[in-house]
Amino acid sequence: MSIAIVSLGTEVVRGELVNTNSQWLAEAVSDDGFEVSELVSVADDHAQIIECLTRLAGRNDAIVCTGGLGPTTDDLTTEAVAAMLGEPLVLDEASLEHIRQRFRRAGRTMGPSNEKQARFPRGARILSNPEGTAPGFAVTIGQAEAFFMPGVPLEMRAMFEAHVRAALPRRGGESVVHQIRLNTFGQTESAVNDALAGIEAEHGVVLGYRAHFPEIQVKVLARGPDKAAAAARAARVADVVQQRLGPIVFSRGTTSLAGAVGELLEQRGLTLGVAESCTGGWVAQLLTENAGASAYFAGGVVSYANQVKHDVLGVPEELLAAHGAVSQPVAEAMARGAHRVLRAGVALAITGIAGPSGGSEEKPVGTVHIAVFDGTTLLHEKCLFPWDRKRVQLVSAFRGLSLVRQLISG
Amino acid sequence: MSIAIVSLGTEVVRGELVNTNSQWLAEAVSDDGFEVSELVSVADDHAQIIECLTRLAGRNDAIVCTGGLGPTTDDLTTEAVAAMLGEPLVLDEASLEHIRQRFRRAGRTMGPSNEKQARFPRGARILSNPEGTAPGFAVTIGQAEAFFMPGVPLEMRAMFEAHVRAALPRRGGESVVHQIRLNTFGQTESAVNDALAGIEAEHGVVLGYRAHFPEIQVKVLARGPDKAAAAARAARVADVVQQRLGPIVFSRGTTSLAGAVGELLEQRGLTLGVAESCTGGWVAQLLTENAGASAYFAGGVVSYANQVKHDVLGVPEELLAAHGAVSQPVAEAMARGAHRVLRAGVALAITGIAGPSGGSEEKPVGTVHIAVFDGTTLLHEKCLFPWDRKRVQLVSAFRGLSLVRQLISG
């Protein structure tokens, strides 16, 4: 059962926008157990559209297509499909009325160009658009069922859920897929790959790897005769994966590292305060992405200038003078200061050289000191990262959150 | 001159990530005057990769391809291309050494799976990877030049700029394109579009619009017989565009709003300090993305909990009790506090309700108060944003930086 996903539009092939429709559709149909053969985008061009659809219809069971249903002269999808099928375009009165009403509700009158949005290839099944103007339609092209939807994401998703998702042809007897994603931080993609050698063959699953800097995400894809069987197998293998990888696994699904640390803090009734220099507020931003962060995040001090390390965090000037801002003593003093000033149960401090300038022979770019303090225990870590500024900042934030996780996990 | 852009990877066809590589490449080659015939993604599958590349090579002058050069068993690109060309894979010693050194610099040892990243089809031209591990390569497939790059965006872009962009085959006689991008914040896409009505026809250029929340970017694309002519026309029209749009234009090219504000601060010899509540560190992070931020950014206080607003910024408890944290008096007190505590020339404070919880009838989700203070002048703005948490946080950060820009521009 093979599905091709098509995104029609010159603005897409010119790179004028990022195509989220194809990704959203691909994920949705993959989660439903279908196999996506390809994602393709072609321009608003009559001949190219016909050629593309013809090719795909010859090798897929279904084609899901977005774009080109608008009122302008650029919008050629419906015409091209009708020509391809050798069918005339027929006016659908119900669609015309729907369009007229949408304009009325917005206090406008329908224009002549909008009338074309109510014409469909004879024999097409019309798909109503609950969120917008243009209805979509479905036709059979050779052996494939083809569905045509608007390019506006909100409208497309609503139409997909209402009319297309359940209508995708199943041959029956297909197995159902269940996937579990494990998120890791701390090892390279190849080390993770090596650690999981043999699991696919032994357990009859597929493992997918995604490097999403600085995380490595491992996805376990299991098939089964039904959802429960597939889910049970996926869960079993996910546990095997987690056991092999150890503590570098910080969460499953869509929970971020900051979110996972937040859950641990909340479970223990602790609050976190951060003192950031080179990460410049990124740790705080990662923590506050999540709704409910106020349950475990007190706040932070972005002590970018040294005087702020001294004035707000109480780092002694002698320490700054003797060791420099990027040093173990200053990192530890920042952590103690944040713990006190923010009245946090746990404090995290990060000070380093993100680059590209600021490095020296003794302290090259990428040198980062991290300290965590909970009132009793003080942990410190010195890192040396070989990346550009933005990646040094992000991986330092991750290493800091990892050290917090380490401290509070005991 | 036709180019096809290919993104290889099962995670792409399964919709596990949004494919920004194809969009970035499509935009880059379109800007250079090439015509993109299609964007296509297929899975990590030997036969599918070969079939796709064979089809595209028969109808394009160039194929630009990303993905599948990693060390894992999923990464099949190089193998598939070699098989397609009937060439063996040959070890390139220089690439092997490059990979070994990258691991050494990160304090790790290269694994066996990384060795495969140094093997290429015999006869391939190897493209070095300045930003990462895996080199890319280029080969001729029939009439087409095909370029293969890593899927990691940062690495891909660097390799493209260094080795591919100038190597794309030109037949000659094409006009040259020059583009200038103007970045705006503060108006909707349709308002910007309406304001620029008629410019395309009058000046013989193409205007492209991209909504990249919360910015609207306007691209002026001018053609000419040579680069100088195209550049001159683009510059002239860019000035017309800027004049029509006014102060919502905050920069050109790739300078962010935070970067533009930084430039203004540095020109005036001012430093900025920030007090953030609902934006949770995002303003500080946007400012410190840029190298050299220490010239104009003192630091910030992420006063997420109310006690931090009081303890660190000196916001009086009576104010918090009487008006609540999300109010004009508290925003102004936070700005004054940041100005004093961070010893900044200018201070910015943001306090609001990002949601999804925390709203009330009096102060619904999306209510945000912003204040800026320079020791003499105090500006305040109350906003009501109709978006989700992340977008409320981001647009608040932008409005805050805009208010700083307004204050220091006089």
Taking only the tens place, the pLDDT of each residue in B227-245 is 899 999 999 999 999 999 9
State the ipTM, two decimals. 0.85
The full set of domains in chain A, from first to last, is 2-167 (3.40.980.10), 176-252 (3.30.70.2860), 257-409 (3.90.950.20)
| Min distance A92 CA to chain B CA atoms (Å) | 30
Residue B250 is inside which H or E element, if any? strand B249-252
CA A275 to chain centre: 28
- Shortest Cα–Cα distance, B14 to chain A (Å): 5
Any idea which of A156-170, A269-283, B202-216 has the lowest mean pLDDT? Answer: B202-216
Give per-residue pLDDT as tens, B13-35: 998 888 899 999 999 998 888 99
* Average pLDDT of span B125-152: 95
**Sign of the alpha-carbon dihedral angle for A254, A256, A262, A267:** positive
Residues in chain B, total: 410
Instruction: Give the minimum alpha-carbon distance from B72 to chain A in angstroms, rounded to a whole number.
Output: 6
What is the percent of chain A where pLDDT is above 90? Answer: 82
Residues of A in contact with B108 (CB under 8 A): 188
Of A361, A365, A358, A404, give the one whose Cα is nearest residue A385.
Answer: A365
Which tokens hold the place of B352? 């609001």
* Residue A232, token pair as written in the block: 């049970």
Are B111 and A194 inside 8 Å of each other by CB?
A: yes
Which residue among B30, B52, B111 sits closest to A15, beta carbon to beta carbon? Answer: B30
* pLDDT, average across residues B113-137: 93
Tally of CB atoms within 10 A around A212: 12
Confidence grade of residue A337 (pLDDT, cut at 50, 70, 90)? very high
Interchain contact, A12 vs B39, CB within 8 Å: yes
Could you tell me which of B309, A259, A103, B87 has the C-alpha nearest to residue A251?
Answer: A259
Q: Which of A221, A304, A306 to mutate to test the interface with B (most CBs of B within 10 A)?
A: A304
Peptide bond into B364 cis (omega under 30): no
CB contact under 8 A, A284 and B302: yes
Dist CA A352 CA A330 (whole Å): 11
Mean predicted lDDT score pLDDT of chain B:
94
Instruction: Tell me which DSSP letter residue B61 carries.
Output: S
B298 to chain A: which residues are within 8 Å by CB? 304-305, 307-308
Closest CB to A210: pick one of B16, B52, B209: B16
How many beta carbons lie within 10 A of that of residue B172, not counting itself? 6
Contact of B45 with B73, CB cutoff 8 Å:
no
Contact B113 A311 (CB under 8 A): no
Which of A129-133, A364-368, B273-277 is predicted least confidently? A129-133
Report the alpha-carbon distance of residue A95 to residue A150 in Å, rounded.
14
The pLDDT assigned to A75 comes to 86
Instruction: Report how far residue B10's alpha carbon sits from residue B227's, in angstroms, rounded to the nearest whole number.
Output: 40
Determine which of B54-58, B102-106, B120-124 has the lowest per-residue pLDDT on average: B102-106
Mark out the alpha helices in A110-216 (DSSP H runs). 112-115, 153-159, 189-195, 199-203
Quickly state the pLDDT bin for B286 (edges 50, 70, 90): very high
Which residues in chain A are contacts of B107 at CB distance < 8 A? Answer: 384
Structure tokens at A242: 């987690």
Residue A17, amino acid: L
Q: Are B72 and A391 an interchain contact pair (Cβ–Cβ within 8 Å)?
A: no
Q: Which residue of B has its CA nearest to A20?
A: B18
A193 chain-B contacts, CB cut-off 8 A: 71-73, 113
- Beta bridge partner(s), residue A350: A276, A370
Residue A351 has, within 13 A of its CA and on its CB side, a CA count of: 29
Q: Is A311 helix (H, G, I), strand (E, B) or coil?
A: helix
pLDDT band per the 50, 70, 90 thresholds, residue A173: low
Residue with tokens 């934006």: B279
Cα of first residue to Cα of last residue in chain B, in angstroms, is 50
Q: Would the CB atoms of B303 and A302 count as touching at under 8 Å?
A: no
Torsion of the alpha carbons at A245, A247, A248 and A252, rounded to the nearest 10 = 90
How crowded is the C-beta side of B61, counted as CA atoms within 13 Å? 13
Note whether A293 and B304 are within 8 A (CB): yes
pLDDT band at B208 (very low <50, low <70, confident <90, very high): confident
Model-level pTM?
Answer: 0.85
- Spatial contact of B26 and B63, defined as CB atoms under 8 Å apart: no
Element (H, E) at B36: strand B35-42
CB contact under 8 A, A209 and B107: no
Q: Which amino acid is at B199?
A: I
Report d(CA A68, CA A70) in Å as an integer. Answer: 6
Joined tokens for residue A119: 């014409």
Written as six digits, the tokens of A198 are 């043999």
A-to-B residue pairs, Cβ atoms closer than 8 angstroms: 283
pLDDT, averaged across chain A: 94
Contacts of A389 in chain B (CB under 8 A): 289, 291
Record the tokens describing residue A74, joined without a space.
């650029």
Dist CA B298 CA B313 (whole Å)? 15
Tokens of B307: 């006690």
The shortest C-alpha distance from A116 to chain B (Å) reads: 23
Beta carbons of A190 and B114 less than 8 Å apart = yes
pLDDT digits (tens, 9 = 90+) for A72-96: 777 899 999 999 999 999 999 999 9
Residue A171 has pLDDT above 80, yes or no: no
pLDDT at residue A341 above 90? yes
CA dihedral A25, A27, A31, A33 (to 10 degrees): 70
Q: Under an 8 A CB cutoff, do A208 and B10 touch?
A: yes
Instruction: Locate A358 and state its tokens.
Output: 């600021």
For residue A401, is pLDDT > 90?
yes
Per-residue model confidence (pLDDT) at position B74: 82
Of B205, B55, B86, B78, whose CA–CA distance to B136 is shortest?
B78
Which residue in chain B is spatially nearest to A24 when comparing CA positions?
B15
CB contact under 8 A, A298 and B304: yes
Q: Which of A387-401, B203-217, B250-264, B384-398 has the lowest mean pLDDT?
A: B203-217
Rounded to the nearest angstrom, the gap between the alpha carbon of residue A352 and the centroid of all alpha carbons in its chain is: 29
Instruction: Report the Cα–Cα distance between both ends of chain A, in Å, rounded.
Output: 49
A247: pLDDT strictly greater than 80: yes
Q: For residues A264 and A406, is the Cβ–Cβ distance under 8 A?
A: no
Spatial contact of B112 and B143, defined as CB atoms under 8 Å apart? no
Structure letter (DSSP) for residue B160: I
Cis-peptide, bond into residue A356, ω within 30° of zero: yes
Cβ distance of B304 and A301 shorter than 8 Å: no
Please tell me the distance from the alpha carbon of residue B256 to that of residue B241, in angstroms, as a whole number: 19
CA A213 to chain centre: 12
pLDDT reported for residue A212: 86
Cβ separation B131–A274 shorter than 8 A:
no
Mutation target to probe the A interface, by most A beta carbons within 10 A, among B51, B256, B302 is B302
- Does residue A397 contact residue A383 with C-beta atoms inside 8 Å? no
Could A37 and B48 be called an inter-chain contact, meaning their C-beta atoms sit closer than 8 Å? yes
Q: How far apart are CA A210 and CA B11, in angstroms?
A: 7
More confident residue, A366 or A113: A366
The partner residue sitting opposite A298, judged by closest CB among B209, B305, B342, is: B305
Confidence bin at B47 (pLDDT 50/70/90): very high
Q: In this complex, do A280 and B287 lie within 8 Å of one another by their Cβ atoms?
A: yes
Beta strands in B142-231 (DSSP E): 144-149, 176-184, 206-212, 215-224
**Omega of the bond prior to B356 within 30 degrees of 0, cis?**
yes
Task: Provide the 10 A C-beta neighbour count for residue B212.
Answer: 10
Contacts of B63 (CB under 8 A, 6+ apart): B3, B4, B5, B6, B53, B56, B57, B141, B144, B145, B146, B147
> Residue B279: its chain A contacts at CB < 8 A?
285, 288
Higher pLDDT, B133 or A274: A274
> Could you give the CA distance from residue A299 to residue B281 in angstroms, rounded to a whole number?
9
More confident residue, A34 or B395: B395
Instruction: Tell me how far apart the 2 most distant CA atoms of chain A are, in Å.
Output: 85
Q: Pick from B301, B334, B341, B350 the residue to mutate for testing the A interface (most A CBs within 10 Å).
A: B301
Decide if A170 contacts A178 (C-beta within 8 A). no
pLDDT grade, residue B190 (50/70/90)? Answer: confident
DSSP SS3 for A246: helix
